Amino acid sequence: MMFGNQGLSQWMIIAALLTGCASTKPTSDRTKESSPLLAKAADLGLVDIRTVIPDIAIDLRYATAENITGRVLYPADMPCLVWRSTARKLKHVQDQLRAEGCRLCIWDAWRPPEVQTELMRKGGHTGMFLDPQERWSRHCSGVAVDVTLVDLDGRPMKLPTPHDENSDAAYYQYSGTDPEVKRNVTLLQRTMEAAGFSMIPMEWWHFDDFEHFYHPPPTVFAKDLGLSLP
């Protein structure tokens, strides 16, 4: 087969592209090679929420010392993991919120049971943390999230309280007088409920994936993922 100079150049370009495509591995394979932890998580049904919702805001509060224990509980590179079907529900929430001019911000998602034990030890008196001797929090299976709202530029929006505030203001039915706070918390709760999440009375920020409310997936420990905690 004979080619002119122009035809040969075009053929070489096409051949190079085909070669590149043939040597490119699927994204899932590349992810497993680059992150053994995420590969282990995927094998246990957990996904990094950023792979499903790239523009979601993440502010893991237990990666700071600003929590009831007074110390950092998560490593600096703590992944934000959720159960795979829960991630799809959160994507639906994010799509709806974008139309309202805001986005989700995750304060907590999958929580290592080792951390749940420490939270109960320090904050069990508040009633905000499940006692592991009774059962594990749904956070420990990746089917519960603590969330708030940010605007499209990532600025925090006005909501009733900070994370894990033990006060009457944290009750899920806002009873304050600020119309902006009322509007924001109502938008968050209605959008999450419509996507299949349920609430608990004491924490306006906490939502459970109702599909897994009564039968959550297996608990995943930090050691199962090879995750080193502080």
Structural domains of the chain, ranges and CATH numbers in brackets: 47-225 (3.30.1380.10)
pLDDT tens across 149-168, in order?
999 999 999 999 999 999 99
For the cut 60, the answer to whether the pLDDT of residue 17 exceeds it is: no
Strand 144-151 relative to strand 203-209, pairing: antiparallel
- What's the pLDDT at 223? 96
For the cut 60, the answer to whether the pLDDT of residue 124 exceeds it is: yes
Would you call 213 helix, strand, or coil by DSSP?
coil
Q: Which two tokens stand for residue 142?
A: 């990746």
For the cut 50, the answer to whether the pLDDT of residue 69 exceeds it is: yes
Amino acid at 19: T
φ and ψ at residue 36, rounded to 5 degrees: -60, -35
pTM value is 0.85
For the cut 60, the answer to whether the pLDDT of residue 30 exceeds it is: no
Q: Which CA distances in Å does 86 have to 35, 46, 217?
A: 21, 9, 11
- What's the pLDDT at 120? 95
With a pLDDT cut of 70, the percent of the chain lying above it is: 85
A 10 A CB-CB count for 108 gives 24
For the cut 90, the answer to whether the pLDDT of residue 23 exceeds it is: no
- What's the pLDDT at 9? 42
Range of lowest pLDDT (29-38, 105-114, 168-177): 29-38
